[in-house]
Amino acid sequence: MQIEERKNPVNTMQNIILENRNKLTITGVLDVLSFDDEIVILETELGLLTAKGENIKVNKVSLESADVIIEGEIRSLEYSNKNYDKKQGNFISKIFK
Is 49 within the bounds of a domain?
yes
Q: Does an H or E element contain 62, and which? A: strand 47-62
Is 95 within the bounds of a domain?
no
Average pLDDT of the segment spanning 17-43: 95
Average pLDDT of the segment spanning 7-15: 69
| Model pTM score | 0.72
Is 92 within the bounds of a domain?
no
Tell me the backbone φ, ψ of residue 95, rounded to 5 degrees: -65, -40
Is 27 within the bounds of a domain?
yes
How far is it, in rounded angstroms, from Cα 46 to Cα 56?
22
Is 96 within the bounds of a domain?
no
Is 91 within the bounds of a domain?
no
What domain range includes position 62?
3-83
- Give the number of domains in the chain: 1
| CATH number for 34 | 2.60.40.2000
**pLDDT in the model for residue 12:** 73
How far is it, in rounded angstroms, from Cα 63 to Cα 54?
24
Cβ(72)–Cβ(54) below 8 Å: yes
Is 97 within the bounds of a domain?
no
Mean pLDDT of the chain: 82
Strand-pair partners of 17: 25
Average pLDDT of the segment spanning 22-26: 96
How far is it, in rounded angstroms, from Cα 61 to Cα 42?
11
